[in-house]
Structure 1
Amino acid sequence: MPGLKALTACSRLEKTARGITVGVLWLAGANLANASTLTLNEALQTAFAGNPDLAAAQWDIGIAEGERQQAGLIPNPEVSWEAEDTRRESRTTTVMLSQPIELGGKRGARIDLASRAQDAAGIELERKRNALRADVILAYSSAQTAQQRLQLSRESLALAEHGLRVAQGRIGAGKSSPVEGTRAQVQLSEVRLELSRAERDQATAWQQLAQVMGAPFPTSVTVQTAAPRITTVPSSARLLERLNETAELRLAKLQIDQREAALGLEKSQRIPDLTVSVGSQYSELDRERVNVVGLSMPIPLFNRNQGNVLAAARRTDQARDLRNATELRLRTEIQNTLNQWQTASGEVDAFKQTILPAAQSAVDSATRGFEMGKFGFLDVLDAQRTLIAARSQYIQAVSETTDARVRIERIFGDLAVSP
């Protein structure tokens, strides 16, 4: 079967990959130690090579391959020896070789079920790789956000310090009240507290990224600060057309096939197996050896495996309902996520094109006006707080855009390479 050949090739590739995991991890650690900036591709490569959960999941391919091999084996023959009478001169001994013969297609049903499990192991590994990729991108994005918040906190600190110097200069010249200096000092203290929180959040984000990658990196390493890789929101209709291609829905469909194969196996168990025996019997009393041939088969009078057949049939019905529930959940999640993505993208554009430039212009105008005595320091503080809040909201909008994209890619995989 083409599917089994593909899975066998996949299994060989997985074994080869596991064989070089240690070397890849060593090289990844060396690269991280020597690099000053961690890129997303480096983070993904390190995670695929060193994440312990993915490494454990890769063994499922070999496990399924072994179970498929075991399912195709025929029962072992059985040898027996019997002695009638304990007296040597009248004892009769019998040596028998018995071979069970499976009837009802049991071996074929076992192979079919194990093959379905082998296919499911491959799809499950694909799903876990998609999930790991999404986790790495999300953790990397969180590290980017924390890094940007820290940078903005430092810029806000410089802005507050500049405001304090301006206020102190006007107070020293007798043009402003000392109250304005107090307000400027309070603003500076608040910004310093925000800077401390930003430093703590950045350290936490780095730790989470290192955990997902499966390989720690030095705290001196930074991540690239860049806009989301995909700025255009995909079409809802186009994604829903590809819903059956997703690993999660394919796995749900394959689980139906598995339950149907299990039902076929339980039905085959209703037919009893035949045991063929051949042997030789020797009588010490008659000094004669005779051949012995036997056939045996259980009588399915009471136990016809009817309970297990019923349970397997109900599990098949359950798998169909679970598949429908999975499709409904994915459709709802895709639509809601695309709406969030569209809204967040609009917010990002609004901040970049209008809000942030206007807020920065307001700060510059208020500061110049205060220096010239046209505005009070409250106007400067208000403009500074507006700019700081706008920057924070912009970062949050970018983070929501990335989060929505990651949720979609967790379902479909990498959108950048998808058809």
Structure 2
Amino acid sequence: MPFPFPFPLPLYLLATAVFAMGTSEFMLAGLLPDIAADLDISVGTAGLLTSAFAIGMVVGAPVVAALARDWPRRLSLLGFVLTFAAAHLVGALTTSFAVLFATRIVAAVANAGFLAVALTVATTLVLPDRKGRALAVLLSGTTVATVAGVPGGAVLGTLLGWRATFLAVAALCLPAALGVLKGIPAGPGRRGRGGEATGRPALRLEFAQLADPRLTLVMLLGALVNAATFAGFTFLAPVVTGTAGLSELWIPATLVLFGLGSFTGVTVAGRLSDRRPGLVVAVAGPLLLAGWPALALLADRPTALLALVFVQGALSFALGGTLITRVLYEAAGAPTMAGSYATAALNVGAAAGPLIAATTLGTAAGDRGPLWSSGLLIAVALLVAFPLRTTLTADRR
């Protein structure tokens, strides 16, 4: 009996695991005030937990991908998921910010390894000209996390404390691990859609791909766009309860709207990123540039705030998802490392964004500062992209 969905079942199982990990990566946006109060630190310091996670992703993606390139795919993916769960269990039990910081790095390295392998596996499960759509399915795990997992975690954190949310993520990894165990083939090495082994270049040749200016360009743009996304998203909670004057229960509702937007954006862009990436960049880029300052200016008006959060989520993930796809196309000569390049590039942005945003919290901009910093980062991205737009959109499928 043929599989009733457009893509093979293993792709959806990978997306389930990405959902668990995406919940963890984004959930801090709704938990920072609670963590700060519990551990007696500032909200800005608590925001460094997001950067710790991103740093672990940046370092872990290429290193773990290089180490795991000869490991059996199923075994490596399973190991990453279980390590991720263990890190959250320790994080839920600790009373030390330093230990919690360390667990975020360990969890991030496991996440990086999983995502680097999963991105590569996903592209081998579909026809060569459907990479963008396959990645949209995989990344839907992240966007569904922002719709359901992250707001759910925020509600759980509000009712039972942030530690309960960490425990819930650890538990969520168990069915994801079972899905990997049952759905991913056990064989080692890169495999084609029909399971056949394929040749691959030496590791040094795969690293040499990083010297390609087209690849470095899209990696840089991906980092800048993701920095803008995380700068604003990480500090949404104080905007909701402070600037907008809403109750804490509005935090998960706001995150749901961002998640619904991100799901919409990555789904729509997934249909365009294979053949018309330039259109996504040309439309989403300027709209993002206008949207972040608008959100900062209108953050004290709840209706405008909620509407713009949805729009910014859609545009951010449409553009970010398209750039992920372009990284994989440009890194076609690095079949086992391409996923790690995309992961590392996006998480350079995820590390830098909250750091940049945190510096604005003590300024006259206050809680709106991170939103202004997001607009500035998008402006830099567009300045980089504009003179090189022909190179960016040139077809290399």
Global fold match (TM > 0.5): no
Larger Rg: 1
With normalisation by structure 2, the TM-score equals 0.21
Larger relative contact order (Cα-Cα within 8 Å, sequence gap ≥ 6): 2
> Greater share of helix residues, 1 or 2?
2
With normalisation by structure 1, the TM-score equals 0.20
> Greater share of strand residues, 1 or 2?
1
